[in-house]
Amino acid sequence: AIVFGPLLGTAYSFAGCLLGSAITYAIGYFVGKDFVHRLAGRKWKRIEQGLGKSGIMAIAAVRLLPIAPFTIVNIVSGAFKVPLWDYFSGSLLGLAPGIIVMNLFAHQVARALRHPGMGSYALLAAAIVVTIVGIVWLRRKLGPQEIQPETVSPVHPGKAI
């Protein structure tokens, strides 16, 4: 955003993130679960729980919350053979808020430095407040939720209700 402006900077950020995630997804896909388990270490279980819920929103949630480093999430997604559509759609949704906010924030910082004044500083302060409010809201909305124990159906043993 500082070099290319907010629109091109955001487009380049998306392209770079998605290209990087595609390459590391492919690595995970080809090396398999055993290797990835050793690579991810103790974060394996948290990632596994996040990715265990298949679908676009599960991938987006894993991207929005700091469960594990970006590259580890990509490799584990490949090793789990998460469907490509779910993976890339969820990644796009999960990465979008951070990419957009960071690029707009960087642009506003550059603008405030190049053209100092009350208007620039007010916009920068607004960007900081919006970022903090957004992070708090996302953490509350998508943060770890208590897992309810499954109750076994008395009519159909072995099936959860």
Which residue would you say has higher pLDDT here, 103 or 154? 103
pLDDT digits (tens, 9 = 90+) for 78-92: 888 888 888 898 888
84-114 helix and 118-142 helix, angle to the nearest 10 degrees: 160
Mention every residue, 6+ apart, whose C-beta is less than 8 A from residue 104. 1, 6, 10, 127
Tens of pLDDT along 104-128?
A: 888 888 887 888 888 878 877 887 8
Q: Which residues of the chain form beta strands (DSSP E)? A: none
